[in-house]
Amino acid sequence: MKLELSGITKTYEGQVVLDHVSVILDDIHAFVIIGPSGGGKTTLLRILAGLEYPDSGKVTIDGEEIQYHESWLRKYRKSIGMVFQSYNLFPHLSALRNITLPLELVHGMSRQDAEARAMELLERFQLKDHTYKKPIQLSGGQKQRVAIARAMAIKPKFLLLDEPTSALDPEFTSEVLDMIEELREEQKDLILVTHEMGFARQVADHVMFVAEGRVMEIGNAGEIFDAPKQGELKQFLDKVLKY
Amino acid sequence: MAGLFISQEHHEHPKWSNLAWVLSAILVFIIISGIFIFAFSQLQYHFNWSAIYKYKAKFIHGWLMTIIISLFSLVLSLFIGFFFAVGQQSRFLPYRMISKVYIEIIRGTPLLVQILIFFYVIGSAFHLNNRYVAGILILSFFAGAYVSEIIRAGIESIGKTQLETAKSLGFTKRDTYRYIIIPQVLKRIMPPLAGQFVSLVKDSSLLSIISVSEFTLNAQEVNSYTYSTLESYIPLAIGYFILTFPISMLTRYLERKFHYET
């Protein structure tokens, strides 16, 4: 995919969260955004997801400019997959129903077809035993995998993942990262905000370091992790990679 | 010995032996009945149940009327509560304002005063003279304010993240309410609503002041015919308890059930 951001600015109550962010990237398959908490990376992802409006600036994806008004965004959101930090499964619905409900309501599939597609995904990601469980009966890792399966079920143009492992106990992190890697291997384009530097380095083709609302550095994984140019990035990497 | 009555597990689910349950029940029974037997013996009151027994049809009639009034008020208060709960979230300011004002006034003033003003002032002005209809309306508007708060709290307990998730999946607002919010809100508000119904049943006794012939008024009348005060009012207490206790048990059951389910 092609991504073009020009002059994206966002403020909350006088606080500048994103300050004229401009980026042009061609041929993205796995775009990883890293940076300190509160630096604006989640806000940027939410703007890409059409969940937040920029105060000014333009977002163009594959040559199409995102129109920030509800009716356009509703259609746009249907075409992309979003995965949240805290899973956000619907707690009153089984794993299966969490996946099939959007397929039926939003994508007009029949119940049978929706269930067939959901079962295929659950099976593929070793979640079949949990098909009829409610989220409360699942571990954090299983919940997040169901959430990713839900996002994949709609056959999205690309996936957006907002710190998908940050809320997990360490023992569950790898099963979620394995799943994301598998998606990456099958050429599903994704944009990922993460604190997992080892994983970022492994899957990313482009890495962007965002801090204080600005793009501090951008490059391929090797450039960013092995030869950081900016002092801020060096300091950040030193801190997160210390242990 | 005391160890028998103290649960070994002191967290959410304490456990006791059957023996402890039986002994505790006997102990509680002895304490409560002891207090009452002592108090009544001091009173030197001569119970005259036969005078009351003649009026048993009156008690039953009043009791049934209380059930009917409570049921109608319950249903109506759900609609009223829902209307004003929606109003509290409305973007249309006058609707929002009237909802808040209504809830604050009803919750901040005694039901007794509301009944008098509604029936003798507002009711007469609008030629609403049927005291049963008026009684049900007053009780419904009274309970509606509490129901409204219960519903509002239920909606607010559904996290913002769920609304956002529905949005990100492309749900329409209508589908979000129908498939995500309402099913969860219904489950969560069942226990407090059942509790509210217990209050409603007891609050209906105040309608006796506008001569609605419900349970309390009938007991009062029997008392004035027979001068047997305690004999008139003890059945009244038992009659209300027969209505409220099962609802109270239902509330507990619902609380436990939904606690594990969500």
- Residue B167 contacts A where some CB pair is shorter than 8 Å: yes
Question: How much is the pLDDT for B160?
Answer: 86
Q: Which two tokens stand for residue B55?
A: 């009026």
Q: Which two tokens stand for residue A139?
A: 């571990």
pLDDT tens digit sequence for A29-53: 999 999 998 889 999 999 999 999 9
Q: Do A7 and A58 touch, CB atoms closer than 8 A? A: yes
Pairwise pLDDT comparison (B15 vs A129), residue with the higher score: A129
Question: How much is the pLDDT for A210?
Answer: 93
Q: What is the ipTM of this complex?
A: 0.89
Question: How much is the pLDDT for B69?
Answer: 94
Domain that holds residue B188: 62-257
B174, pLDDT greater than 80: yes
In a domain, B6, yes or no: no
pTM: 0.76
Cα separations in angstroms, B163 against A89, A104, B182: 11, 18, 12
Question: How much is the pLDDT for A17?
Answer: 92
CB contact under 8 A, B261 and A88: no
Count other Cβ atoms within 10 Å, centred on residue A50: 26
> What's the domain count of chain B?
1
Tell me the H-state helices in A26-129.
Answer: 41-48, 70-78, 95-105, 111-124
Q: Is the four-CA dihedral A223, A229, A230, A231 of positive or negative sign?
A: positive
Of A74, A88, A136, the CB nearest to B162: A88
- With contacts defined as CB-CB under 8 Å, which chain B residues touch A101? 179
Question: How much is the pLDDT for B53?
Answer: 87
Choice among A152-166, B129-143, B217-231 with the minimum mean pLDDT = B217-231
- Residue A84 contacts B where some CB pair is shorter than 8 Å: yes
| Euclidean distance between CA atoms B119 and B36, whole angstroms | 39
CB contact under 8 A, B179 and A105: yes
CB contact under 8 A, B262 and A136: yes
Question: How much is the pLDDT for B1?
Answer: 63
A234, pLDDT greater than 60: yes
- With contacts defined as CB-CB under 8 Å, which chain A residues touch B165? 82, 84, 88, 90
- Residue A88 contacts B where some CB pair is shorter than 8 Å: yes
Q: Name the β-bridge partners of A219.
A: A207
In a domain, B253, yes or no: yes
Mention every residue, 6+ apart, whose C-beta is less than 8 A from residue A9: A16, A18, A19, A20, A21, A54, A55, A56, A57
A56-61 sheet: strands from edge to edge: A15-25, A3-12, A56-61, A64-65
B229, pLDDT greater than 70: yes
In a domain, B242, yes or no: yes
Domains and CATH numbers, chain A: 1-80+196-243 (3.40.50.300)
What's the average model confidence in pLDDT over A9-24?
Answer: 92
- Residue A49 contacts B where some CB pair is shorter than 8 Å: yes
A229, pLDDT greater than 90: no
B260, pLDDT greater than 60: no
A90, pLDDT greater than 90: yes
Of B162, B168, B187, the CB nearest to A77: B168
Q: List the beta strands (DSSP E) in B159-246.
A: none
In a domain, B51, yes or no: no
CATH of the domain at B139: 1.10.3720.10
Residue B69, φ and ψ in degrees, nearest 5: -60, -40
Amino acid type, B259:
H
In a domain, B149, yes or no: yes
- Residue B162 contacts A where some CB pair is shorter than 8 Å: yes
Question: How much is the pLDDT for B10?
Answer: 65
In a domain, B147, yes or no: yes
Of B161, B167, B183, the CB nearest to A92: B183
In a domain, B43, yes or no: no
Share the mean pLDDT of chain A.
91
pLDDT band of B11, cuts 50, 70, 90: low
Q: Do B148 and B103 touch, CB atoms closer than 8 A? A: yes
Min Cα–Cα distance to chain B from A163, Å: 15
> Which chain A residue has its CA at the smallest distance from B259's CA?
A136
